[in-house]
């Protein structure tokens, strides 16, 4: 069993090392942070969406912005599209593929941003959300696990984080990226939280 534990950790380490060594990936994280900062500078909101584990990441990202990340500070406007009543209504009336796009159509405003998370980059729900966002002037930041995906072509910024053969390694990289984005936003608006004592 120990060999499987070590093997899993080593695979995760290789995925992270590869991401760190990818200059384009690092620049895309920087560009995503700059997009979020511009959104907050213009009093916009950030939306996030994903399916399954990616929805959990979208929710985690939003609550760290509205609540607290490392230290106390004012809340930042962020909403994960995860309301069960909205999702069941839209799924019933229009089909599940539109649960996220319909929310963006209803709430998104020009100058807002959308974090669209799909490990495959092909999920219809996420593609529809990105299309709706672009039509409304909402910036799209995509997190994917495969280069050249359909989602990448719809994104203003695409952070591609290949993690291996399965989605779990991609999701592990995605949560690291999301935490970094929160930190960079905080460093811009709450630099006192990063001053050494």
Positions at the binding site: 51-53, 60, 64, 92-93, 118-120, 123, 171, 179
Q: Kindly report the length of the chain.
A: 197
**Per-residue tokens: 60:** 């985690």
d(CA 104, CA 125): 12
Closest CA to 120 of 95, 143, 100, 153: 143
H or E stretch including 41? helix 23-41
d(CA 196, CA 122): 43
Residues sharing a CB contact under 8 Å with residue 157, sequence separation 6 or more, in sequence order: 28, 31, 32, 35, 139, 140, 141, 142
Torsion of CA 59, 62, 65, 71, to 10 degrees: 0
Residues sharing a CB contact under 8 Å with residue 42, sequence separation 6 or more, in sequence order: 111
Q: Cβ(110)–Cβ(42) under 8 Å?
A: no
User: Binding site membership for Zn(2+): which residues?
Assistant: 60, 64, 171, 179
d(CA 6, CA 182): 30
User: Binding site membership for substrate: which residues?
Assistant: 51-53, 64, 92-93, 118-120, 123, 171
């Amino acid at each position: 069993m120990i060999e499987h534990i070590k093997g899993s950790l080593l695979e995760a380490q290789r995925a992270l090392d590869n991401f760190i060594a990818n200059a384009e990936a690092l620049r895309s994280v920087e560009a995503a942070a700059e997009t979020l900062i511009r959104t907050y500078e213009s009093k916009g909101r950030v939306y996030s969406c994903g399916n399954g584990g990616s929805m959990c990441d979208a929710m985690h990202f939003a609550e760290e912005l509205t609540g607290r990340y490392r230290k106390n500070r004012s809340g930042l406007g962020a909403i994960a599209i995860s309301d069960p009543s909205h999702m069941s209504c839209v799924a019933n009336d229009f089909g599940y593929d539109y649960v996220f796009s319909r929310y963006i159509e209803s709430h998104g405003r020009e100058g807002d941003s959308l974090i669209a998370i799909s490990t495959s980059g092909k999920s219809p729900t996420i593609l529809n959300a990105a299309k709706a966002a672009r039509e409304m002037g909402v910036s799209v930041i995509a997190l994917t696990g495969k280069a050249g995906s359909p989602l990448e072509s719809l994104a203003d910024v695409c952070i591609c984080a290949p993690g291996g053969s399965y989605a779990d390694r991609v999701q592990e990289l995605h949560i690291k990226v999301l935490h970094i984005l929160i930190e960079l936003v905080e460093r811009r608006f709450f630099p006192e939280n990063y001053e050494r004592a």
